[in-house]
Structure 1
Amino acid sequence: MTARGTVRVERVVTSGTFSLDGDTFDVDNNVWLIGDDEEVLIVDAAHDARTIHEAVAGRHVTAIVCTHAHDDHIDAAAELSVLTGAPVLLHPGDNELWSLTHPGRKPDGELSDGRVLTVAGIELQVIHSPGHTWGSCSLHAPFLNAVFTGDTLFHGGPGATGRSYSDRPTIEASLRNRILTLPGGTVVHTGHGEDTTIAAERLNVPAV
């Protein structure tokens, strides 16, 4: 498979709230568009479907990939799917969480460890990386020297645990065994905040 044209990563920042376990917080989310001038894949449909749709700018959307099912990452997924005609993909480990936000609509397809998604002539490999939630997944794009980690890995270390559907030892094991084994120069595009690299974050995840 050969990449077509200039494949690039675009970030759209949207704002809204995150609610779980009776608490609500204001948050800014990173929405990632991966593709070229003809088609894109969207990583996380956060808060504002119309702003994301504007960034798509008429391109064909191959899929809306949910890194996990916390409401701030999926609240715009159903509307964005209608606007773009693209399927919403989620790991089944997060179906219960998904149903809290979209009780009348199921995802259109399943993410699974090792599944390969394609867009604009490049491949993205799904890495099941549970811990922040049971169904959390990352997307590794070797062509772009990048990984999209949702809330599993941030600039500064692992994503949050301690709420429902999460577990600290599990997220640390996912990072040690699945994510931090990627090449050190791999750019980490996160669900919130700034980018980092695999090499930088190896220092921030405890050893066994």
Structure 2
Amino acid sequence: MIDRVITSGTFSLDGGTWEVDNNVWLVGDAREVVVIDAAHDAGAVARRVGGRAVKAIVCTHAHNDHINAAAELARLTGAPIRLHPDDQVLWEQVYGSGAAYEPLADGEKIMVGGTALEVLHTPGHSPGAVCLYAPDLCVVFSGDTLFRGGPGATGRSYSSFDTIITSIRERLLTLPAETVVHTGHGDSTSIGAEAPHLEEWIARGH
């Protein structure tokens, strides 16, 4: 069971602020879920969770628009927040030392409702960016690493175009072509739809 809540707010970094709509993904069954990227509105996410247990609040990265409801959702649900520690500097920009998370590790498997979510460390958009791959569901949750039409933005602090291209090439485009890509913003796509365009992105990015 995969569900999506779209929340709206702002993304701020390097002195700029932009209006954004975020995809908050819920994966699980009738009893328990994992929340991926608790953005903007903890109440809206909690209402969609309903009476189910939240096993974890997983952050694909620590830009403020992907974590700014995580601490409140953790308070409401009692669930741990999970984040790759390479994004510590971004986490501190939002929470300082006022909220804690449990570190994610590359290759770790998070079990929920009989489904395994495998953590793929995919740096580039941020140092600690991860994707979550559910082979049983033929789905990968890509955060801001891969979108319909290309890689996530790399023009701001703590990001690298070359690194995100390497992550996409080695960690995502090696997944089965039929794998659905559920993104952090906008519409979903598939590995097969995006793979043929890698060289175009590289040419455009440089």
Compute the TM-score of the two structures, normalised by the length of structure 1: 0.95
In the alignment, is residue 117 of structure 1 matched against residue 110 of structure 2?
Answer: yes
Whole-angstrom distance in 2 between the partners of 1:91 and 1:70: 12
Answer whether contact 1:18 1:71 (CA < 8 A) is retained: yes
Structure with bigger helix share is: 2
Summarize the alignment of residues 1-208 of structure 1 with structure 2, pairs less than 5 Å apart: 8-206=1-199
- Displacement of 1:195 in angstroms is 0.4
TM normalised by structure 2 equals: 0.96
In 2, distance between residues paired with 1:204 and 1:72? Answer: 28
Deviates more, 1:100-109 or 1:157-166: 100-109
- 1:172·1:206 contact (CA, 8 Å) conserved in 2? no
Query: 1 CA distance for matches of 2:81 and 2:141?
Result: 17
Where has structure 1 moved over 6 Å in runs of 4 or more? none
Distance in 2 (alpha carbons) for counterparts of 1:33 and 1:202: 26
* Structure 1 residue 70, shift from structure 2 partner: 0.3
Q: Deviations over 1:83-131 (max 9, x none)?
A: 0100000000001100000113343311111001000011110000000
Gaps of 5+ in 1: 1-7
**What percent of counterpart residues are identical?**
57
The one-letter amino acid of 2:92's match is: S
